[in-house]
């Protein structure tokens, strides 16, 4: 049982605030990802959960126990590091057995569990080697074996796939997901790779500058971003943004006026007279629409990607990307009519980044 909850965690080094009153409740046995750019505080959070770093203020709870002052060796967590951190002077088998030996597990049980873990991670043939003789992927599996052999109540993973080559990374993602399902334990995963987080997580906590931006399922994060940061961070190619103003008296019937186009909007959650930002994902832009187009834009770049075709379009100095079928017959220099579906656009207040639109239903 491990429901991790963070209550108002703050971490500062002198004047520099790395974590700002972070409050987060995780569900038991879920795969939760801490997602954010470098320096957002996600690794610091993970270290605090592990007990390797201490918070300036705030508390960490495992279920109902306050573990804030408990040293790492007594928290019963296992951690997989970005650099794997295998003990270089020990063989693989000793690396894996180390944690069990520290807990004075009986010899035969250690042997059994190590063998099982090695089999699960398919490294049984590497047990007698030293870490320096292994490839990156193999070291990673050893690090994972070392973690799972201890059967802890909580798994912490700090960007474990970052140092692998692209192909290995993709296959390891699936493996980690499978591992999570089999072990049925809580996984707290840190990454800056938003695609990874969407694929693997039950829920994602998006962090920026030490503050929680949004906590939700991958679908929530992707389709209903709470602010402009989350909207722009998640999704590849990233969401297109247009600056402009609002027009209209009532909340229910507003229009966004951009440079060279106007877009109808769904009912707003709150009205503002300030500058706004319209966000549209590349796949939500209709080219050569059936209905009335909003404007026409010039094709600047064509990016064929096999199953999709991405066009970079230009309108009045602003560029944006649209996704379309590979068979679409648009060339560089062509003028293309386009339209944004009001049901699928996002609107944010420029100053605060806050989302101004009600949640849209997920398209089935």
Q: Judged by CB, which is closer to other proteins: 13, or 317?
A: 13
* Strand (E) or helix (H) holding 11: strand 4-13
Alpha helices, DSSP H, located in the chain: 42-50, 92-102, 107-120, 136-148, 166-183, 194-200, 218-223, 228-233
Q: Cα Rg for the chain, rounded, in angstroms?
A: 24
Residues within window 99-138 making contact with other proteins, judged by CB under 8 A: 99, 102-103
Work out whether 174 is an interface residue with other proteins (CB under 8 A). Answer: no
**Phi, psi for 193 (deg, rounded to 5):** -90, 105
Nearest distance from residue 227's CB to other proteins, in Å? 30
Token reading at 331 = 């060339």
Q: Which of 38, 64, 89, 363 binds other proteins (CB under 8 A)?
A: 89
Q: Which of 10, 27, 30, 35 is nearest to 213 (CA)?
A: 35
Nearest distance from residue 92's CB to other proteins, in Å? 14
Work out whether 258 is an interface residue with other proteins (CB under 8 A). Answer: no
Work out whether 146 is an interface residue with other proteins (CB under 8 A). Answer: yes
Work out whether 85 is an interface residue with other proteins (CB under 8 A). Answer: yes
Nearest distance from residue 300's CB to other proteins, in Å? 33
Name the 3-class secondary structure at 96. helix
Work out whether 13 is an interface residue with other proteins (CB under 8 A). Answer: yes
Kindly state the number of chain residues that form the binding site for other proteins, as judged by CB under 8 A.
Answer: 32
- Centroid of chain to Cα 201: 8
Token reading at 303 = 């990016």
Work out whether 58 is an interface residue with other proteins (CB under 8 A). Answer: no
Residues 6+ apart with CB under 8 A from 312: 299, 300, 301, 303, 319, 320, 321
Q: Which stretch binds other proteins (CB under 8 A): 97-105, 170-178, 259-267, 297-305?
A: 97-105
CB atoms within 10 A of CB 14: 5
Q: Which of 20, 29, 61, 81 binds other proteins (CB under 8 A)?
A: 81
Work out whether 87 is an interface residue with other proteins (CB under 8 A). Answer: yes
Residues 6+ apart with CB under 8 A from 264: 255, 342
Q: Judged by CB, which is closer to other proteins: 87, or 119?
A: 87
Nearest distance from residue 95's CB to other proteins, in Å? 9
Helices (H) and strands (E) in the chain, counts: 8, 20
Name the 3-class secondary structure at 212. strand
Nearest distance from residue 164's CB to other proteins, in Å? 17
Q: Judged by CB, which is closer to other proteins: 36, or 131?
A: 131
Nearest distance from residue 81's CB to other proteins, in Å? 5
Q: Which of 38, 64, 69, 364 binds other proteins (CB under 8 A)?
A: 69
Name the site residues for other proteins (rule: CB under 8 A).
Answer: 13-14, 47, 50-52, 54-56, 69, 71-73, 75, 77-79, 81-83, 85-89, 98-99, 102-103, 146, 150, 156
């Amino acid at each position: 049982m491990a429901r991790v909850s963070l209550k108002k965690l703050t971490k500062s080094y002198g004047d520099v605030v790395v974590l700002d009153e972070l409050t987060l409740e995780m569900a038991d046995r879920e795969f939760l990802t801490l997602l954010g750019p470098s320096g957002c505080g996600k690794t610091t959070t993970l270290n605090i959960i592990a007990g390797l770093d201490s918070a300036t203020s705030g508390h960490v709870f495992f279920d109902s126990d306050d573990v804030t002052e408990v040293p790492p060796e007594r928290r019963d967590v296992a951690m997989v590091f970005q650099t794997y951190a295998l003990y270089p002077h020990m063989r693989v088998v000793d690396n894996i057995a180390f944690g069990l030996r520290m807990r004075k597990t009986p010899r035969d049980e250690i042997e059994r569990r190590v063998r099982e873990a090695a089999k699960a991670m398919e490294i049984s043939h590497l047990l007698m080697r030293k870490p320096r003789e292994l490839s990156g992927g193999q070291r990673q599996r050893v690090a994972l074996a070392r973690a799972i052999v201890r059967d802890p109540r909580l798994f912490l993973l700090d960007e474990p796939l970052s140092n692998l080559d692209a192909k290995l990374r993709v296959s390891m993602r699936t493996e980690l997901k499978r591992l999570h399902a089999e072990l049925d334990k809580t996984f707290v995963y840190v990454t800056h790779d938003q695609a990874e987080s969407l694929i693997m997580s039950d829920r994602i906590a998006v962090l920026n500058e030490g503050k929680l931006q949004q906590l939700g399922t991958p679908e929530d994060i992707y389709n209903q971003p709470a602010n402009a940061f989350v909207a722009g961070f998640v999704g590849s190619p990233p969401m297109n943004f247009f600056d402009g103003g609002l027009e209209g008296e009532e909340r229910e019937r507003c229009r966004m006026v951009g440079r060279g186009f106007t877009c109808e909007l769904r009912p707003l959650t709150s009205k503002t007279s300030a500058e706004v930002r319209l966000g549209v994902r590349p796949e939500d832009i209709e080219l050569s629409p059936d209905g009335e187009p909003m404007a026409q834009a010039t094709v600047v770049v064509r990016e064929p990607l096999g199953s999709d075709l991405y066009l970079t379009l230009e309108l009045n100095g602003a560029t944006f990307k649209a996704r379309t079928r590979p068979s679409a017959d648009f060339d560089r220099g062509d003028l293309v009519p386009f339209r944004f579906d009001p049901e699928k656009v996002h609107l944010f207040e420029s100053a605060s980044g806050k989302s101004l639109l009600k949640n849209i239903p997920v398209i089935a």
